[in-house]
Every structure is written in structure tokens, then in C-alpha cells.
Structure 1
Amino acid sequence: MKKKLNLFIRRVSVIINDENRKSIYRILKESLHFWVVKKEIPYFYFGKFLYRKDVSNYKDYLSSKEVDKITLSKKLHRIQFSKLLRNKLSFALFMEENNFPVPQLVSYNHKNEFYLNSQPNQIDSKDKLIQFFESQFNQNEINGLFLKSNTGMGGKGCFLINRSNLHNQVTKYYEEIVNDNFVHQKIIVQHPKINMIYQHSINTIRFTTYIDKNGEKHILSAFMRFGSGGSFIDNSSAGGICVSVDLKEGKLKGKSHQLMKHGGKQLIKHPDSNIIFNDFQIPYFEESKELVLRAITLIPDRIIGWDIAIGKKGPILVEGNDNNSLITPDIIYGGYLKNPIFKEILEEA
């Protein structure tokens, strides 16, 4: 209860202190109108920053009911594709089998049963887990691994395991690792141009794709996520910074966005590197678009959020999400309902 109260106070503080806030009268008028039109408490009016002066088309933004309608639609999502996308191990194996550029799967574990080269290893102590990771570092000539919970979302259940700090990290994460299921992947070597903005996380482009009722494939929107402050996670739900991407030019557009629960800041440049976002050209952007369109040919769920990293030699498909949160892309796009395709999506849902 106390945590929820603190979160509420923090969000109210963000609104009150926002220099780009509309007048109180206009906020009250619009939020009540949003309530009537959307038939729900105007939580998203505030959560999506529709109270800001530069937002005039507040009715073009999705309500929570509309988001749920799309996310939970059995017509837009098939269970066989949803299960494949949500299971990190199945997804990694399937995409590797079909020769997609994905992070290399080195090993994985089902609780305390660890698999390396398809051979099971029973891990019942911290020392054995340290030895297990050391053997991988030596065999693969690497200095670290990225661990992801097999069914985790929003950046939760992710660890970087490094050779230089292995003992401390295993001591810290041992119980969590051996009581869950994880995939262990080689750390992506990120393109140096992306590292210029932020080098401590793998910064991914989130593409939202849609297959219409005639089978035509669409990329609805794209935005890029960046970690900050030393964090190795770029997810917006974990405090990451999001910047809109021009789909035609492959350039970052305007200011960054951040979810309200993390402060809701809008920045013209990255707080760590001071690199200006607007007009920053993303390497291999056309190749990234081609990659997601190829991916939905293989996994034709009708609406998916794809995470693409930019490696030294091209784009890398990190994961796909059938339960793609439409909150951030709706904010980034400036109101999904102004896109005529979205009217079809809601009808189909």
C-alpha cells in the first residue's frame, strides 16, 4: 500500500512540475472528455502525457480497454506463435535453426539442471556454478554471458555474468538462477556508432509489425531504447530512454520519452554522452526493417513487437513479443488512432 501511495505521489509530482503542462482548466476539460469518449477513468490521459501543451489530438491515443482488446485478441494472436515468442529458449533455438542473426545461445538451465552442448550438468553449489561458467568462458574465448529468464518480460530476470567479477555475481544471483529457467547467450558486440550514445547496454529498436486481413505486412512504428546511468538494461519499464525513429530515413526524431513512474523526462540529448538524439542516423536501418519483415513471414502472428540490436556487421534479432506493450509506441507515434490501419486492427481485435 505504501509503495502504491509513493508511486501515486511521484506521478502527481511529475505532472505538477512539468513545465510543458497545459492549464489546469484545459487538463480538467480534456481528461473528463477522454473519460466520456473512452468510457474509463482517464488514467492514460495522464500516464501518456496527454496533458502536455504539444498534444492536441488526445483522443487519438489508445485507452487501456483498447490496448487490452488488441493484446488479448485471439483473432490477432495464435497460441502456437505466442508460446514460441514468449519462451526465450524455444525462440532462440527456432531462429538459429532458420539461420536468423540472433544472439548466440551458449547454454541454458532448467533450475539446477544446466545444459552445455546438450549435456546435462547438475549444479548444487555456488562453486560448481562458478566452474560451469568458467568452462564456458574458456571454451568460447569470451569474458561474459547475458542471462535472460526464459519467460521474463520488461527487462526483469536479466543478468550480466562477467569473468572479472564472476564470484561476486554468482554469490549475488545464485538462488535466483537455480530456482528459475534461463538462457545464456553471448554478449552482443554493438555497433560503435550506437556505443557513442550509450555503451553500457545493448540499445534496441522496437518495431511494431502488423499483418492485415489481406495478408499484407506493415511496420506500424519504430522507436529506439537506451539505457542510462550505468544500467545494462534499455527497457522503458526499467527506466530506459525511448526516442522515436523516422521509418523512412532511419533517423532518431525529436526528444526522448520516459515513463512517468521513472520521472517522465524529455531530453534532447543522452544524459551520459550528451549526444543529441534528433537526426542521429541509425546504422543498418533498412536491413533492420527487412529483418523484421522476414521474421513475420516465419512467425506470422498478426501484431508483434520486435527488438533489434545493431551489431558491427548488421542487425541482430533479440526477441519478439506478442504481448507487445502498446503504451510506449502509442506515445512515441503521437496517437496510434490517427493511423487508419489501427481502425482495422481494433475491428479485427
Structure 2
Amino acid sequence: MKNKLLFFLRKVYFRVRVYPRQVKHLKNYTSQYYGKTYFPDSEHKSEREIFNEQKKYIRKYGRMNEYYYLYGFDVKGLRNQEEYLDYGVYMHRRDYLNNHPSKDIYSYTGILRDKFYFAIFMEQLGFPVPGTIGLYDKGDVFVFASKCNVNIADVLKNGMELMFKPLDGIGGVGIYAISMIDGKLYYAGNKISMDELMEMLSSQRFFIQERINNQHSKVAELYPNAVNSLRITTVRDLKSGNIELMGCMFLMGAREAVVSNWHYGGVIINVNDQGYFDKYGYSLYEGRIDKHPDTGVPFDGFQVPFFDMAMKEAIRCHQLFYGVHSVGWDFAITKDGVLFIEGNDNWGMAAHQMVSGGLKKKFEKYYFK
């Protein structure tokens, strides 16, 4: 009786407060129902059709679908919306399974989230990662090789290119690429002083790695100014325990950015099971494109070097991360093979659905017994 009453009260609250507020927000925030399309050459639904579909989504999930245009739902006959997974539903289940492994009462995700610990863990297991320098904290660096603290000036050797990464950063935010040439420090092509560098790094601890300078020539042709990365997302089947593929995509830098990230103007494209690009990729600024906006390299027919190696390494590594249900692995492709850049337990589902289609079937298969 008590449960029925609570259900009834929640239903009333939704109809009286949540739904009207969300619809009002939808009317005010017009870009959600009449916004930027990623398919400008296609036939689009009317403003009224889009508005009604967003209202239907609000009734079902309690909020607008912020990825409506990203998924191409505005195009007539292009997508079946029932095949797509709601981000809130996915995120709740993802976080629950990643933070509540089996009967354990603790989470293993901290190993993935802290870049310093992740690098140590991976090196001890024998997985390839970029060269580890150490941990920066308030002017001093704990050097991984010598196991001692030194001043940062003793780490910055002539000719070195180093990446200073926030320990828990995501999406390339807060990363500084620092180089020393002829005894002078440079950041983003500009000369800086040691005091300026110290000020840049004053807000938090940073993990220091060598910059990857041996990117595979074929991958560098796509965009040479950043380390373009392969994202392979794996999931542990709750029934069999096997590690399965959730999705695979490639991220390229663009617009002079030094990181391969969508929010910095980068390009994302789906990669099939044989390592080939789809014909079209997606850019935040250019929409759907069939070639890189800066270099002009066409996507159709492009095969990622060492793709099979990356796939095998992702599965093998996830087997050893036995306490984490799903992981988005980021790889750099070098002339010698692949390097693990990072593993993400909080991987984003929206990008995968944008480039490859709905993940609802895989979600239902791998996230429930």
C-alpha cells in the first residue's frame, strides 16, 4: 500500500511540476527543437514534429534529449529512435556496475581515474604506455625511475617535450605540452619563463609523461599536430564473464589543437571490426564530413594501423581489470605498435551512438543478467 502511494505521488509530482517545467524550458531553449543539423543536405522534420518528439521524450525520461541533433533524429527516415539508449539510463547503470563489482564493497575505478596510478599499474603489468617521468606537486617532481624528489628544473632537459596532465582530467582539459629548446621553455609555440610555468601548474598535481613523437606516419597524415587516438570500449558480459566489444571509434585533432578531442574542434569517426573508417566522420563545427577539414585526407577506405593488436590488448587488459565492468581504452598508434594512453570507466556513450548508431541492444545484452 505504501509503495503504491509513493508511486502515485511521484506520478502526480511529475505531471504537475517536472513535465510543465521541462516543456517550458524546451520552448525557451529553441536550439533543442530547431537547432543545428549535422545533415544539412537531407530532408528534415518540421519544427512542430521535432517539438512533439522532444515532448514525448520528456514524458518518458523526464528531460529533453540533448543529443537529438547529434544522433540525426531531425532527419526524416534516417534513424530509429527506439534503437538509441538514453544517456541518463545508461550512466546510472554504468556507474553502478563499475562501482559495485560482485560482492566487494569498494570500487576499482580509482586506478583508472588517477593517471599516475594508472601508468604505474600498466607498467607493472607489462602493457605499453608513454614514457613515465613522474608526479609534479608544488615545484617538485617525484621521478618514477629514480624514486626520489627533484626540482622541476632538473626534469626539463634540453630537447625534451613533456605532457603535464591533471591526475583526474578528462577530455584533454587542463593538459599542458611543454618543450625546452636551446635552454628556453615553450608552451603552445610561445616562449614562457619558469615562473610562468610554475603559475600554470600551481592549481593542482600533474602527472608528467614524455610526449609521443613517433606517431605512425599514416595516422599523422590525418592530422599531424596532435596524437590522434583510437577508442576501443569493452564490456564484461554479466552472464559469461567474457570481455566483449561495445564500440570503436577514432578521434582526430583539428583547428591547430594539440589534443584529439571533440570539444576542441576534433573529428570523430566510427571504426568497423576490421579497423576501417566509415565513409563519414563528425565535427562539432563542420558537421558530417567525408574528409579531414584541415588536411583533406579522405576517410573512406582508411584502415587504422595495428588495429588487431589494439583490440587484443584492450581485451587482455580488461581481463586484468576484473573489478570494472566497462572501460573506454584510448590508444596512440606509433610506428612500432600501440600505446595505452588511458582507460575510462566514465566513458561517454553519446559519441559512440553518434558515429555507429544506437547501443540499446548491446546495453540490454551486456548490462543485465
TM-score norm. by structure 2 comes to 0.80
Matched, 1:94 2:124: no
Structure 1 position 216, deviation (Å) = 1.0
Counterpart in the other structure of 1:276: 298
Q: 1:14 aligns with which of 14, 36, 43?
A: 36
Structure 1 position 13, deviation (Å) = 4.9
**Offset from partner CA, 1:186-225 (integer Å, 9 cap, x none):** 1112000001111111111111100011201101110000
Identity %: 24
Counterpart of 2:327 in 1: which secondary structure?
strand
Q: 1:240 and 1:308 mapped to 2: Cα distance?
A: 16
Segment of structure 1 superposing worse, 210-219 or 14-23: 14-23
2:228 is aligned with what amino acid? N
Kept after mapping to 1: 8 A contact 2:234/2:243:
yes
Map residues 190-209 of structure 1 onto 2, 5 A cutoff.
190-209=215-234
Q: 1:181 aligns with which of 205, 221, 224?
A: 205
Structure 1 position 83, deviation (Å) = 0.3
Structure 1 position 80, deviation (Å) = 3.7
Counterpart in the other structure of 1:221: 247
Kept after mapping to 1: 8 A contact 2:38/2:287:
no
RMSD over aligned CA atoms reads: 2.5
| Unaligned residue ranges in structure 1 (runs of 5+) | 1-7, 123-128
Kept after mapping to 2: 8 A contact 1:108/1:182:
yes
Counterpart of 2:281 in 1: which secondary structure?
strand
Q: 2:179 and 2:77 mapped to 1: Cα distance?
A: 44
Question: By percentage of residues, which structure has more helix?
Answer: 1
Counterpart in the other structure of 2:338: 315
Kept after mapping to 1: 8 A contact 2:38/2:288:
no
Kept after mapping to 2: 8 A contact 1:69/1:346:
no
Kept after mapping to 2: 8 A contact 1:112/1:179:
no
Segment of structure 1 superposing worse, 190-199 or 10-19: 10-19
Counterpart in the other structure of 2:277: 252
Structure 1 position 241, deviation (Å) = 0.7
| Higher RCO (C-alpha 8 Å, min separation 6) | 1
Counterpart of 1:43 in 2: which secondary structure?
coil
Q: 1:318 and 1:347 mapped to 2: Cα distance?
A: 29
Q: 1:153 aligns with which of 159, 162, 170?
A: 170
Q: Structure 1 residues 110, 9: CA separation in 2 closer, same or farther (over 3 Å shift)?
A: farther
Counterpart in the other structure of 1:85: 112
2:220 is aligned with what amino acid? N
Counterpart in the other structure of 1:143: 160
Kept after mapping to 2: 8 A contact 1:201/1:233:
yes
Counterpart in the other structure of 1:233: 259
Kept after mapping to 1: 8 A contact 2:257/2:264:
no
**Offset from partner CA, 1:93-139 (integer Å, 9 cap, x none):** 111111111111012212333122222135xxxxxx4x3343xx35x
Please tell me whether Structure 1 or Structure 2 has the larger radius of gyration of its CA atoms: 2
Map residues 293-304 of structure 1 onto 2, 5 A cutoff.
293-300=315-322, 301-304=324-327
Counterpart in the other structure of 1:329: 352
Map residues 157-168 of structure 1 onto 2, 5 A cutoff.
157-164=174-181, 166=185, 168=191
**Offset from partner CA, 1:51-85 (integer Å, 9 cap, x none):** 13463212222223213223321466545420000
Segment of structure 1 superposing worse, 163-172 or 85-94: 163-172
Matched, 1:342 2:363: yes
Kept after mapping to 2: 8 A contact 1:256/1:277:
yes
Counterpart in the other structure of 1:109: 136
Q: Structure 1 residues 77, 292: CA separation in 2 closer, same or farther (over 3 Å shift)?
A: farther
Counterpart of 1:107 in 2: which secondary structure?
strand
Structure 1 position 256, deviation (Å) = 1.1
Kept after mapping to 2: 8 A contact 1:190/1:312:
yes
Counterpart of 1:51 in 2: which secondary structure?
coil
Q: Structure 1 residues 279, 36: CA separation in 2 closer, same or farther (over 3 Å shift)?
A: farther
Q: 1:17 and 1:191 mapped to 2: Cα distance?
A: 32
Structure 1 position 38, deviation (Å) = 3.8
Map residues 16-95 of structure 1 onto 2, 5 A cutoff.
18-20=40-42, 22-24=44-46, 25-53=48-76, 55-74=78-97, 78=101, 79-95=106-122
